[in-house]
Structure 1
């Protein structure tokens, strides 16, 4: 998909990285959280809002969940989502379970003024994500004179997806994540997410902004986060506290 280029002079990009609770199979509730963060972001002059992986419908790779809730981007259901988000001034980057021609994708949609201006489909799928097809492109976008691209969660375990974005001259890597994990795994990886993401930042020289969910799912799963801003040196500059909902604002000039 072609770049979406902001014709205005370079001035910087204020990114609001959001850490909401996990919302499962309730698009209306997910949209309400997006609207709430948009109100907070408007008070902070945020230009772009980043939300977690598959946040719109809830991240499960169960075939029944995916087939029930996936949205074709040309469908009336997704058109209604765009209409709902149209009043939001900031660009919204949000994870969506997408379907097209009978195939399913783990997608980050880039929405501005109620229009879909681009998408990124996750390229490095987890072993259990066999219901999804991998994406094969790494589009970048320009806003406020700042070029950015997107990775989704496990993409950041590998150098190549971030490198593909950096090769196009991007200054920022947005990471939509969803780490609602079994408790022992969540505890093991709680401090490793930043380590992997820091590697990608240092390798590419990009700022890295991540968004993740938080909370618990039943007795077995927990999501700590993190939602954070990492410098090109891999340093954690800002972070939403673990196990809390909230937003950080990263200003990239």
Structure 2
């Protein structure tokens, strides 16, 4: 049995203190509820971006932000998955961090990055939480069945999808239903549970309706946060 929760929330770019406070509150709820695995949106720790200069700046700030977050959740029982752009060996990655026991215990780098200057990840690790195992794909990876299959081949029970569908209005409208369709397709393809966490709201001329949901292996949508609202989708699997 593994209890998964996916958080839908507003973007809070470049404000690590607010992000840490929000995560700490969600962790308190998760621990009180018996959640094993708590998922946040793509690059939510410092903020997602499409502009190369912003991506670089946030990647350079990631190490300090990760340290601050680990201190903030040091007493958590739940395992967290939260992302950031990071710099490693001179390259920038779109990374989902797995945090447990107040420290980073693993990570996944987006295999099909669509942000400028971001290096593709090559590894598809899986991780333990509760009594199950999970893997991670990130946002645009959901368009690529091969990325999900690499997780399924390791007999993971669930695939997590941190998302950031903060897009120009016309683009967001096109992806409004397709994002859910992709999650359903990946669940049916792999026979895994699928959980996604997305941002919601607006940022300048961009909008995200929010695609935070949990999908059963047969493609049934079992939990979803309403569009335009902050909240949590959660479910026990296995």
Q: TM-score range by the shorter chain?
A: over 0.9
Q: Which of 92, 97, 104 is the matching residue for 2:85?
A: 97
CA drift at 1:88: 2.0
Q: Residue deviations 1:156-199, cap 9 Å, x none?
A: 00100100000001110011000001111112211111111111
- Structure 1 residue 76: deviation in Å? 5.0
Structure 2 contact 112–140 (Cα < 8 Å) conserved: yes
Residues 196-239 of structure 1 deviation map (CA, whole Å, 9 limit, x = unaligned): 11111111000101000001112x21111110010111111110
TM-score (norm 1): 0.90
Instruction: Name the SS of the counterpart of 2:199 in structure 1.
Output: coil
Which secondary structure state, in structure 2, belongs to the residue aligned with residue 184 of structure 1? Answer: helix
1:36 and 2:22 aligned: no
The alpha carbon displacement at 1:130 in A equals 2.5
Residue 32 of structure 2 is aligned to residue 47 of structure 1: no
Aligned match of 2:100? 112
In structure 2, what is the equivalent of residue 9 of structure 1? none
1:171 match: 157
Give me the whole-angstrom Cα distance separating, in 2, the residues matched to 1:81 and 1:191. 33
CA distance in 2, matches of 1:92, 1:161: 21
Unaligned runs of 5+ in 2: none
Tell me the alpha carbon deviations over residues 1-46 of structure 1, each in whole angstroms, 9 at most, x when there is no partner.
Answer: xxxxxxxxxxx11111100101111111111221121122223111
Task: Indicate which of 191, 215, 219 corresponds to 1:230.
Answer: 215
Give the number of equivalent residue pairs. Answer: 238
144, 149, 167: which one pairs with 2:130? 144
Aligned to 2:178: 192
Aligned 8 A contact 2:2 2:130 in 1: yes
CA apart distance, 1:67: 2.2
Following the alignment from structure 2 to structure 1, what is the Cα–Cα distance between the partners of residues 52 and 16? Answer: 18
Instruction: Determine if the alignment matches structure 1 residue 79 to structure 2 residue 79.
Output: no
Deviates more, 1:232-241 or 1:80-89: 80-89
4+ long deviations beyond 4 Å: none
Moved more, 150-159 or 182-191: 182-191
TM-score when scaled to structure 2? Answer: 0.95
- CA–CA distance in structure 2, aligned partners of residues 97 and 172 of structure 1: 23
Shift of 1:69: 2.0
Counterparts of 2:162 and 2:131 in 1: how far apart (Å)? 22
Q: List alignment gaps of at least 5 residues for structure 1.
A: 1-11
Q: Does 1:62 align with 2:54?
A: no
Deviations 1:123-167 (A, max 9, x none): 0112xx131101000000122221110000000001001000000
Q: In proportion to residue count, which structure has more helix? A: 2
